Each structure stands twice: as C-alpha cells, then as structure tokens.
Homo-oligomer: A and B are copies of this chain.
Amino acid sequence: MKPLDTVAILGVGLIGGSVGLALRKRKLARQVVGLGRNSSHLRSARRRGAVTATSTRWRTGGAGADLVVVCTPVGQIVDHVRTLAESCTGPTLITDVGSTKQHIVESLSGKLPPHVQFVGSHPMSGSEKTGVRYSRDDLFNGRVAIVTPGPDTQKESLKSICRFWEALGSRVITMTPDLHDEAVGAVSHLPHVAATVLAAVTRSQDQQLVASGWLDTTRVAAGDPRLWQQIFEDNKGHVLKSIDQFTELLGQFRDALAKDDRRTVSRILKAGKRNRDALGS
C-alpha cells in the first residue's frame, strides 16, 4: 500500500488504537486523527502514540481524510458512517471493524454520496479486553481480516481496503456479508455464547476449584456485555442456527453418555480433538 496522507479513526479503543499504532509503526500514514466524543479517551490515545491529532467534532472529522476507519460498536456503525460521509467533500474511502457485516453493508448500500465508498471489514483480532491501553501495534499481524464487498462495491475500493489490512500484517479473506455472518456466527459468536453460559452457570461454591480448563473455556465471557448484545442481535438468525446445531450435538453426546453408548461418546470426543488439533495452539 502506498502511504496515505490522512487516516481518521472514529473510536480509539482496543481496535481503533491498534489500527493507529500499526499505521504509525509501519509508517503508512503521515497523519492519524483520532475522533470521538470523549476527550479524555482521545488524550489517552494520543499519549499512547496511537494518533497524531484528535478531535471531538467527530461528525466532520472525516473531511479531508483519505481513509476513515469506524471502530465503534456494531449497533452504531451505520449511523456513524452516514454522518461522517455527509461532511466528506473529496473522494473518501470508509471502512469499519464490526463483528457483523450483512446488516451494515445492506444499510449503507446506495445511501452514501457518490464520492464516498464504504467497504466493510472485520479484523479477527479481538480480545476480551477493552480500551486503548490494551492496544498493540501488532494486533493484526498474522491474523485474518475479512473484507466483505457488497453488490455495488467498486473494484478499486475493494482492492484498497484489502491492501490496507495486508499492510497492517493481516491475511485478507474476502467473502459476501451473508457468508461472513454465517461463518463468524459459528466460530466466534457461538463460542462466546457457550463461554458466557458456562461462566454464568458456575455456582459460587465451586469457584475455588476452577483450573486452567475452566479459565480457558470461559475467557471470552469477560468481554463487554453491551458490545456482545449488539452483535448477537445484529446476527440473530445465524447465531440462533449455530446455537441449535451446538445444542443438537450436545444432546447427542448427553444421550449417548446416559445410555452407555460408548461408540458415540468416543466419536464426538475424537471429532472434537481432530478439529482442535488441526488448528494449532
């Protein structure tokens, strides 16, 4: 990617801050402007070196930027992109980092000024931690970033966003917003549901006994409940389908154990190990 002049980042938490740090570390932008409502958050981001300038007048903060990266919670992304686009006078590319894509891409399709192009992204680099203090310049390095073109995405814009994530070190995969939502419903949203329910069902008197197994299996349940509620609501159909597939196999395991069907118990244990072993530590 040819270095950009100005990149604006709306929302400088874990992900937005890491985008800024990675851009600066790799010298990919002359100027990185942090946008947001909360001036103390913005000051923290600047002190951390994630941005070179800040503005709480975020609505007009995309004017003059080559690229705007919207790093706000899933439920607000559509509104934020629309608002930012209004003040863009020259050709501007906007992307986001939301964990769902279909609703966002559909809602923005055909709704932006012709000189503004939106291409949805989802870097698979989250964490249960939140806030710019956990941001890292290598957060995207070696990780997958999914880019989800819609029916009216221009080829050049798609290529630019793919190059952007590649420049941050990511392995880029493109897929339609719908296929994205189905896939992350299965490999990201479903594990979050399972971890949450596991943690929530744990009785207080048993907590003194938790060991590494419980801690690993429930780790993501420490994520922000408000953010995750928006994700689940936004991807409701696929999340419900994934929960149902999980519940079906869990029921098979349960019934096999109950009736001493050792072959089925063994088959599921081996299938789980095979898939887990295939994906490294």
Whether B126 pairs with A213 at a CB distance below 8 angstroms is: yes
Closest residue to A186 on the B side, CB-wise? B206
Bound CA–CA A249/B201 (angstroms): 7
For A236, the chain B residues whose CB sits under 8 A away are 257-258
CB of A23 closer than 8 Å to a CB of B: no
Contact with B along A245-281 (1 / 0, CB 8 A): 1110111011001101010011011111101111111
Closest 6 CB pairs of A and B: A196-B272, A225-B269, A124-B211, A199-B272, A200-B271, A191-B217
- List 12 interface pairs A-B (beta carbons < 8 Å), by A numbering: A127-B212, A173-B209, A191-B217, A193-B250, A197-B250, A216-B220, A221-B273, A222-B277, A225-B266, A229-B262, A233-B262, A240-B258
Contact A209 B144 (CB under 8 A): yes
A244, B258: Cα distance in complex, Å: 12
Is A15 located at the chain interface by the 8 A CB criterion?
Answer: no
Cβ contacts under 8 Å, A269 to chain B = 196, 225, 228-229
Instruction: Give CA–CA (A155, B84) in the complex, Å.
Output: 73
**A204–B203 Cα gap in the complex (Å)?**
35
Interfacial chain B residues near A275, Cβ < 8 Å: 199-200, 202, 207, 218, 221
Whether A208 sits at the interface, judged by CB under 8 Å, is yes
Closest to A207 in B: B279
> Is A134 in the interface zone, CB < 8 Å from B?
no
CA distance A184 to B208 in the complex (A): 11
Report whether A272 and B191 are in contact in the complex, using a CB–CB cutoff of 8 Å: no
Residues of A at under 8 Å CB distance from B?
A: 124-127, 143-144, 146, 173, 183-184, 186-188, 190-203, 205-226, 228-229, 232-233, 236, 239-240, 243-247, 249-251, 253-254, 257-258, 260, 262, 265-266, 268-273, 275-281
* A interface SS class: helix
Query: Which residues of the other chain, B, contact A221 by a CB distance below 8 angstroms?
Result: 272-273, 275-276
State which of B200, B208, B214, B276 has its C-beta within 8 Å of the C-beta of A222: B276
Additional pairs, 4, CB under 8 Å, beyond known A190-B201, A197-B249, A240-B254:
A200-B271, A216-B216, A216-B219, A219-B276
Closest to A245 in B: B201
**Cα-based distance from A181 to B190 in the complex (angstroms):** 28
Question: Which residues of the partner chain B approach A206 to less than 8 Å between Cβ atoms?
Answer: 183, 186-187
Chain B contacts for A246, CB-based, 8 A:
197-198, 201
Given A197-B250, A250-B193, CB of A225 within 8 Å of CB of B270: yes
A138 to chain B, nearest CB (A): 13
Question: What is the distance, in angstroms, from A219's C-beta to the closest C-beta of chain B?
Answer: 4
Most chain-B Cβ atoms within 10 A of its Cβ — which of A143, A184, A199, A212?
Answer: A199
